[in-house]
Amino acid sequence: MLTAIVLLPTVMAALLLCVPRSAPRPLFLTAWVATATAELVLTVIVWAGYRADGGMQYETRARWIPSAGISYHVGVDGLSLPLVAVTCVLFLACALYAWRATRRVREFAALFLFLQTTCLGLFVALDLILFFVFFDLSIVAMYFIIAGWGHKDAAGSALKFFLYTFIGSLALLLGFIGLYLAADPHTFDIVELTRADPLAGRSTYGALVLLAIAVGLAVKTPTVPFHTWLPPAHTDAPAAGSAILAGVLLKMGTYGFLRIAMPVLPDAWRDYALVFVVIGVVSVLYGALVALAQTDFKRLVAYTSVNHMGYIILAIGAAGAVGADQEEARRLAVTGSVFQMVSHGLLTGALFLLSGVLYERGRTYEMSAYSGVAGRAPVFAALTGVAAFASLGLPGFSGFIAEFQILTGSLGPEPVATGLAVLGILLTAGLFLRALQQVFLGPLRLPVAAPGADRPFADIRVHEGLAIVPLLTLGVVLGIAPRFVLDIIEPASRTLLELLAR
Amino acid sequence: MLLWALVALPLAVGTLLVVVGRPADRYAPGVAVGTAVAAFGLAVVVAFEHPRAEAPLFEGLPAGLAVDGLSGLMVVTVTAVIAAVLLFSVADIGPDEARARFFGLMLLFGGAMLTTVTATTLPVLLMAWEVMGATSWALIGYWWRDPERGDAANTAFLTTRAADLGLYLAAGAALASGQADSLALDDLAATTGSWSALITAGVIAAALGKSAQLPFSFWLSRAMQGPSPVSALLHSATMVVAGAYLLLRLEPLLAQSGWGGHVVAWTGAVTAVVLGLVAVAQTDLKQLLAASTCAQIGFMVLAAGAGAVTGGTLQLIAHAAAKSLAFLVAGAWLTALGTKALPALRGAARRHRTAGITFSVAALTLAGVPPFALWSAKDVLLAGALEDSTALYVVGLAGAVISAVYSIKALWFVWQPDPASAVRGGPLPYAARLPLVTLAVACFALTVTSFPPVRDAVGRVLGDAQPHPHAWEFVLSGALAVAVAAVVWVRGPQILSLSGRITAPASQWLHLETAARTLLVRPVMRLADALAAFDDRVLDRAVEGSARGSVRLALWTNARVERLVDGAVEGVAGGTRALGRWARRPQTGQLHQYLAQAVAAFTVLAVVLVLVR
């Protein structure tokens, strides 16, 4: 079942590439939307068949390179299932958003479908090498999306993105090999490694392996100071690419921490938990402050991602403070961090699609070029306002559910750090309100249209609405009735903390 | 079930109206007023039934709603004021405005307040609390085309959210303490130690911020930019009283901490006096009323700190009636006369008889003049303060006297005969008159709640046993209020004219906003700019630099190392070639030369052999 979910988009992509380019545009787009819908339906079926407290499910294991201890091993549990679901939702939203795309549609659709395979594959992978392969393939696919369909300095940004995260992935590979060599018998299987805890009692070795893995994942997440590839990549990527980059690809880093670093290296994680707490707090505050200084809407949203990912790092760092006798609080923090991945995927995905709408109409992200847009495009303004308030952690939206759990859960184990991190929610409120006021409120002013082109600022079109509204609706649903997701996550975070306490 | 309906009804209808937007404009007023009336009915029912409801929210942290004595009084007050204000808004917010958005947001705002006062656990309280803040942002910035109003909305939201951080910390501390595991509000007082201190401090900060007490008062001044009905609701039964409500609700926590009660009581008392003086210095009716809100809420905060829960609650209810009435009339004048400056409002009360009389009732109530409700409610709460400390009582009484000054000042202006505009205006629409008269009657009728047997019943409902005021306290405060009111009325506000140097800070709200901007906002913005520059010029450039360094290293390797290696290879090849050339020399093809070479070689060999042996 999972294999079908993972491979279906790539099969479809291959089929699309067999169709001649001269075929009518709607053919490709319909195929893309249909595949994304099928993926979502399949995920819903998996979700329906998933037992909340059943541990790893839908497992498949096949021999791949047995001589090196590598196998094709996939499965889902409470950590990965919500991410698989949010991935499918976001890819469907992007497919709908791109409904009026005209530039090399066949290749665009094929690349996105291939990217969907790599993202889903990564979240269900239970073998380090499989994880690594999907990790790297996602970078490759995203490189082509940014370089091929981006604007401004797309080639440069894409190259920077590729090289930076690729170097990170090499560090990751180094760490994986370290784990492989430490295990007896040698294996890359995550489940077996987790069970074996191969580096128990070998603190230096464990620390070095954790360092390699953490650097690799921190680049991807990204945390300060490894985040500088993010703003240019986002600014120059096409809107759908940004949405996937922020909504799904960033989660690969934090998911890696929860899936690999914490359960496989519990000793090292406990020893160095404070490092992650500090990195988390710095990312929260630094990301928010730098975002506050931005004048470019898309860069602003990009930096808030650094802020939001920082909360996750803070929470998983606080979860490592095993000695502090804060069992319930730490569980809340871990649950919150998984929920934050889901929530951030939906809300930031929506914000990037909205910024794409802004760019498509005004040909600039510069906020000072706009004013009073609410008068010309009230629906667009309302949606952006809702997305901004959701992103700043307003109750009633999923962001609050995540951040409340993270902050409430982290305060007990790490009071000083969390006390500082709380300021982040005030800063994000400030920066989003400033942005909303600049772009949407006040008297109407629009950017000077490109020479010769009269560009009326049209309100949200149907296909854009179909892409964005469901994301925000899900944000509200998760904000008001989060139980159906929390029921899935909570047993997994309990298991994770048990593994961490070994 | 009824309880869920009470909070869900306004929230759901409000959301619906906001989402549908302009197409619903025509039906919005009717739907909203109907919803508010239905909510009022539900509130009355739940106030008697005291239902509880619980639903799972987070792991081990349920979402709880319940109505007890305090909540019961609050829900009735809140829904009654919402209904009155919405009815008035039908006349005030014209058909050409975005009515669905206005009425929808008002319902959301009210629904959030209802959830706040019925919440039994901290997460739900915080959720409702922040949603209330966000809807107040949308309401203050209702006329969004005006940048000034957008600014005001941002100021209000950011100031209250800054204070709200206290509630986030309190929630974390409560969980960390291990003594309030489900984060139920009732359990908070059972905590001990440093976590308990953090809970208390967090709750106090959040409540003072929401209630616009010192030093947060300035946001309320800016919030006046919103439509008048918004002010009427925000200042009376929602938003600002949420802070006072929270403190009254958590009075056991304050008492238990040992210091929280004193901090809260004195903050309230000082706010009552200082913001009262600020109100006296205002020349704009809405600004005067705003400062008076801070001052009047100060009494409720004082009551919570001094443990006078009954008095604080009575003050809250009576103030809700008086202040919403005052703002509604001010709004009606603003709509009719286009001004809210006091000198320009001369004679306004003579023009519309209903408005004039009801405004007078509101002003006299605020002034604490008998027999209106705030006179006696204030004495009930001050009785609690008197038992705490005499100094607190005296400061509170001073605050009461000052409230008489600013209220009568406003009254004096609007009743001044103004020959220039002696024309009588047309009557107010019925939708506007009904709420005004109802609220005015309430200002008078609520007085009975401060005297036995009603007061005792209220105390029983609240489960509160605060000290009762003596008869002389009623007489003293009433006499003081009447005397001061009479002096101000007879001599006019001229007696208040002091030199500009003294009144300037007061008329500018003590420059609190400027201080907040200079001390907090500007440094943060500067830090943000510096960090952004650091991000671009140092961090990013370091990454780019290392990339460029790699390229340069490659070029250097290409130029130097490569040449070296290649040179070595070429050298070896050249050497070999030279050797080959040399080796070719002897190969002459002539036999005698070969013989000579052989002889020479053998000779050398022989010599070597001889020498070595």
Comparing CA positions, the residue from B139, B252, B236, B138 lying closest to residue B191 is B252
The predicted model gives B602-609 an average pLDDT of: 93
Distance CA B283, CA B342 (A): 5
pLDDT of residue B422: 53
- Cβ atoms of B326 and B359 within 8 Å: the answer is yes
pLDDT of residue A452: 46
Share of chain A above pLDDT 70, in %: 98
B278-288 pLDDT, tens per residue?
Answer: 998 888 898 99
In this predicted complex, what is the ipTM?
0.93
Please name every residue paired with A76 in a beta bridge, in sequence order, or none if there are none.
A57
- pLDDT for residue A451 is more than 80: no
Q: What is the domain count for chain B?
A: 1
In degrees and rounded to multiples of 5, residue B91 shows phi and psi of -85, -30
- pLDDT bin (cut points 50, 70, 90) of residue B170 is very high
- pLDDT for residue B104 is more than 50: yes
For A279-319, give the DSSP string. Answer: HHHHHHHHHHHHHHT--BHHHHHHHHHHHHHHHHHHHHHHH
B571-583 pLDDT, tens per residue?
Answer: 999 999 999 999 8
Share of chain B above pLDDT 90, in %: 60
Please state the separation of Cα B551 from the chain's center in Å. Answer: 54
Closest-CA distance, A355 to chain B, in angstroms, reads 21
Distance CA B375, CA B366 (A): 8
For residue B155, what is the nearest residue in chain A, using CA coordinates? Answer: A430
For residue B540, what is the nearest residue in chain A, using CA coordinates? Answer: A228
Domain ranges of chain A: 2-500
B268-281 pLDDT, tens per residue?
Answer: 999 999 999 999 88
Closest-CA distance, A443 to chain B, in angstroms, reads 5
- pLDDT bin (cut points 50, 70, 90) of residue B181 is confident
- pLDDT bin (cut points 50, 70, 90) of residue A361 is confident
Residue B604 forms part of a structural domain? no
- pLDDT for residue A101 is more than 90: no
Say which of A331, A396, A418 has its CB closest to residue B59.
Answer: A331
Distance CA B65, CA B71 (A): 10
Contact assignment for B531 to A429 by CB distance below 8 Å: no
- pLDDT for residue A473 is more than 50: yes
The predicted model gives B388-406 an average pLDDT of: 92
Residue B118 forms part of a structural domain? no
Residue B363 forms part of a structural domain? yes
Residue B199 forms part of a structural domain? yes
Would you give the end-to-end CA distance of chain A in angstroms?
33
pLDDT of residue B564: 92
Distance CA B286, CA B435 (A): 19
Output b/e per residue, B522-548; b: 16+ Cβ within 10 A: eebbeebeebbeebeeebbeebeeeee
The predicted model gives B328-342 an average pLDDT of: 85
Contact assignment for A293 to B123 by CB distance below 8 Å: no
pLDDT of residue B342: 86
The predicted model gives B229-234 an average pLDDT of: 90
pLDDT of residue B47: 92
Distance CA B547, CA B305 (A): 62
User: Lowest-confidence range among A14-28, A57-71, B240-254, B405-419?
Assistant: B405-419
Pairing state of beta strands B52-58 and B61-66?
antiparallel
State whether residue B213 is helix, strand or coil: coil
- pLDDT for residue B346 is more than 90: no
- A interface mutation test: which of B15, B25, B59 has the most A CBs within 10 A? B59
Q: 103-162 in B: which are within 8 Å (CB) of A?
A: 123, 126-128, 130-131, 134, 137, 141, 144-147, 150-151, 153-154, 157-158, 161-162
The predicted model gives A107-130 an average pLDDT of: 95
B497-554 pLDDT, tens per residue?
Answer: 666 667 778 888 888 888 888 899 999 999 999 999 999 899 889 988 998 999 999 9
Dihedral of alpha carbons B63, B69, B74, B80, sign: positive
B347-392 pLDDT, tens per residue?
Answer: 888 887 888 899 999 999 999 998 899 999 999 999 989 988 899 9
Say which of B56, B145, B169 has its CB closest to residue A411.
Answer: B169
Q: What share of chain A is helix, strand, coil (3-state, %, to 5)?
A: 75, 5, 20
**E strand or H helix at B42, and its extent?**
helix B28-49
- pLDDT bin (cut points 50, 70, 90) of residue A177 is very high
- B interface mutation test: which of A161, A328, A411 has the most B CBs within 10 A? A411
- pLDDT for residue A453 is more than 80: no
The predicted model gives A428-456 an average pLDDT of: 81
Residue B319 forms part of a structural domain? yes
Say which of B145, B176, B532 has its CB closest to residue A442.
Answer: B145
Contact assignment for B134 to A411 by CB distance below 8 Å: no
B108-130 pLDDT, tens per residue?
Answer: 999 999 999 999 999 999 999 99
- Cβ atoms of A367 and A439 within 8 Å: the answer is yes
- pLDDT bin (cut points 50, 70, 90) of residue B424 is low
Comparing CA positions, the residue from B458, B469, B445, B219 lying closest to residue B322 is B445
| Burial of B600 from C-beta contacts in 10 A (0-12 / 13-18 / 19+) | exposed
Say which of A378, A419, A437 has its CB closest to residue B150.
Answer: A437
B1-10 pLDDT, tens per residue?
Answer: 889 999 999 9
Share of chain A above pLDDT 90, in %: 83
- B interface mutation test: which of A304, A404, A487 has the most B CBs within 10 A? A404
- pLDDT for residue A130 is more than 70: yes
Helices (H), A60-202: 81-97, 105-124, 128-149, 154-182, 190-196
Contact assignment for A290 to B532 by CB distance below 8 Å: yes
Cβ neighbors of A17 (< 8 A, separation 6 or more) are A106, A107, A110
Say which of B126, B145, B173 has its CB closest to residue A411.
Answer: B173
Cβ neighbors of B36 (< 8 A, separation 6 or more) are B10, B79, B82, B83, B86, B87, B107, B110
**Residue B464: which region, alpha, beta or left (left: phi > 0; alpha: psi -120 to 50)?**
beta
Distance CA B613, CA B606 (A): 11
Distance CA A182, CA A199 (A): 7
Distance CA A216, CA A255 (A): 12
User: Lowest-confidence range among A35-49, A240-254, A453-467?
Assistant: A453-467
Average pLDDT score, chain A? 92
Domain that holds residue B498: 146-516
Residue B436 forms part of a structural domain? yes
Comparison of pLDDT for B436 and A324, the residue scoring more: B436
- pLDDT bin (cut points 50, 70, 90) of residue B336 is confident
- pLDDT for residue B332 is more than 80: yes
Comparing CA positions, the residue from B202, B174, B172 lying closest to residue A414 is B172
